[in-house]
């Protein structure tokens, strides 16, 4: 039995991650899904609604136990803490192709997560290769 933790930031991300996770699920597996928002002035009502819709896709398609986390943490901090608290075996995230400048200016949630975890991480491309 495997415990999966899916991180999502949009309906499109959720829809892209569903086939990967469906292909891995077996009887008795557990699926958690999180959407992480910073909160306060950095989070609008629209952000909350979009996060809820992204989680709904994973609940409907995978039966995921969903959690919207709004507690002042970065997405990678929220995912790592949730993974520890729920003993997740594998983290599943989507990644986008970005230029080196884009990575330098805006950071990379995926990179930070990969560098800070001791758990396997499946990265699913969110864009098609050129």
Q: What is the pLDDT along the chain (130 residues), one digit of tens a residue?
A: 999 999 999 999 999 999 999 999 999 999 999 999 999 888 999 999 999 999 999 999 999 999 999 999 999 999 999 999 999 999 999 988 776 666 654 458 888 899 999 999 999 999 876 6
Q: Is residue 130 part of a domain?
A: no
Number of domains in the chain: 1
Smallest Cα–Cα separation from 91: which of 36, 37, 46?
36
Q: Is residue 47 part of a domain?
A: yes
Angle between helix axes 45-62 and 11-24 (nearest 10 degrees) is 20
**Would you state the pLDDT for residue 128?**
72
Domain that holds residue 59: 3-125
């Amino acid at each position: 039995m495997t415990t999966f933790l899916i991180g999502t930031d949009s309906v499109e991300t959720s829809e892209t991650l569903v086939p990967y996770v469906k292909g891995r699920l077996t009887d008795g597996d557990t699926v958690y899904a999180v959407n992480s928002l910073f909160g306060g002035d950095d989070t609008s009502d629209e952000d909350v609604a979009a996060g809820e819709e992204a989680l709904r896709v994973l609940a409907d398609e995978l039966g995921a136990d969903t959690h919207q986390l709004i507690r002042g943490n970065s997405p990678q901090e929220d995912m790592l803490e949730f993974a520890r608290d729920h003993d997740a075996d594998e983290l599943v995230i989507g990644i986008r192709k970005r230029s080196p400048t884009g990575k330098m200016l805006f950071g990379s949630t995926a990179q930070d997560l990969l560098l800070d975890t001791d758990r396997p991480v499946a990265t699913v491309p969110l864009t098609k290769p050129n």
